[in-house]
Structure formats: structure tokens, C-alpha cells
């Protein structure tokens, strides 16, 4: 069982990263292996809409950058975690860039759109924001769950948390950490 998480925050030890690591703690207790990617520290270009990736299920993205590592990890993963802080009401540009590049997993071979990934996997979303209203992180988590579903990563749950401002706020919230850990256990065992 391998879980791959994409961290949409530029903060290596911020709230998003802290909750990913808490989720990983729970998942590892349940026997899973875990890999986290921090695209902000990697070289990943925007999708250039070349569409060569669509030609066949095996065709890959023509852009030879660090996204190739993420493609390989996501292909073999049993579960995907998409995690982000809210930036101006939505996911960060860092995560959106990775999401757009996931398009390469699709193919139009044979004249019909289909996913070039075999089998199904599981998925989870993590969203944090500073504001104390609760609607926006839920809406963003729903968006991430729709992306997971589009890649046959069936969502098992999410963390959508408000009122986290400073990088250490999640780490100082034991209940939140426990929820993230529980989600990790569920992801690894469902």
C-alpha cells in the first residue's frame, strides 16, 4: 500500500505539510508506505496544451521536468492525497499547475476520452485557511475530491480546516492532528 501526497503549500513545515505528515503517521501505523512531493521546491512548468499526451494511454507529457517523478509515483500509488492552503478562495497556483499536468493521464485513443491509468485507487483531500468561516475550505475540498474522482481515486474523506494562520497552528492543535492521523489510517485500511 503506497500513499502519495502532493503538498500545494510553499511552506515545507506549514499547516498543510503538518497535516500531510500526521495523515502519513496514521497510514504508516496501518502498514502503508508514504511519499510526499513539494512542487514548490521542484521544477514544474505549466501545461502547454501540446496534446501529444492524449495520443495513447502510454503517451506521456512532452515536458521533461520534475513532473515526470510525480507521474511515476502517482501511477504506482494505491492512494492519492491532494493538499493545499486556500489562496484567494481556491487552491494555490502551485497545486493547480500539478493538477493541470495530470491531464497527461488521459487519452483520446480510439476517438473517445478515457483515463490511461489502470485500476482504481483511493483519495483524500486536505485544505486549510486562515479565515474562521468554514464554507470555503469545504468547497475547495469538494473541488479536490472531484479531481480525485476524475482520476479514479475514490475519496475516503477530507480535512477542511479554518482558523489556521501561522505555520505552526496545525501542529499546536492535537484534535486536528488526531483527525488527520485517523484519515491516514482509514486511507491505508479502507
Name the residue among 16, 69, 76 with its Cα closest to residue 42.
69
> Are 91 and 69 contacting, i.e. CB atoms less than 8 angstroms apart?
no
**Stretch 119-138 residues interacting with ligand FMN (CB under 6 A):** 128-131
**One of 9, 34, 107, 173 touching ligand FMN (CB under 6 A):** 9
User: 55 vs 130, which CB is nearer to ligand FMN?
Assistant: 130
Helix (H) or strand (E) holding 162: none
- Dihedral sign, CA of 99, 91, 31, 168? positive
14 binds ligand FMN, rule: CB under 6 A: yes
Closest separation in Å from C-beta 16 to ligand FMN:
3
Q: Give the other-Cβ count within 10 Å of 117's Cβ.
A: 17
Considering only 82-90, 117-125, 139-147, 178-186, which stretch makes contact with ligand FMN by CB under 6 A?
A: 82-90
Binding site for ligand FMN (CB under 6 A): 9, 11, 14-16, 85-89, 128-131, 164-165, 167
Amino acid at each position: 500500500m503506497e500513499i502519495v501526497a502532493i503538498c500545494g503549500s510553499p511552506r515545507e513545515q506549514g499547516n498543510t505539510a503538518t497535516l500531510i505528515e500526521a495523515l502519513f503517521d496514521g497510514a504508516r501505523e496501518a502498514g502503508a508506505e508514504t511519499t510526499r512531493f513539494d512542487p514548490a521546491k521542484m521544477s514544474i512548468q505549466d501545461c502547454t496544451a501540446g496534446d501529444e499526451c492524449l495520443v495513447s494511454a502510454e503517451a506521456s507529457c512532452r515536458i521533461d521536468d520534475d513532473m515526470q517523478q510525480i507521474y511515476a509515483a502517482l501511477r504506482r500509488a494505491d492512494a492519492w492525497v491532494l493538499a493545499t492552503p486556500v489562496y484567494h478562495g481556491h487552491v494555490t497556483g502551485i497545486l493547480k499547475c500539478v493538477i493541470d499536468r495530470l491531464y497527461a493521464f488521459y487519452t483520446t485513443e480510439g476517438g473517445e476520452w478515457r483515463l490511461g491509468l489502470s485500476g482504481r485507487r483511493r483519495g483524500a483531500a486536505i485544505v486549510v485557511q486562515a479565515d474562521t468561516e468554514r464554507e470555503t475550505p469545504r468547497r475547495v475540498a469538494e473541488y479536490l475530491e472531484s479531481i480525485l474522482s476524475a482520476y479514479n481515486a475514490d475519496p475516503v474523506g477530507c480535512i477542511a480546516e479554518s482558523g489556521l494562520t501561522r505555520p505552526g497552528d496545525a501542529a499546536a492543535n492535537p484534535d486536528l492532528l488526531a483527525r488527520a492521523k485517523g484519515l491516514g489510517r482509514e486511507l491505508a485500511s479502507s
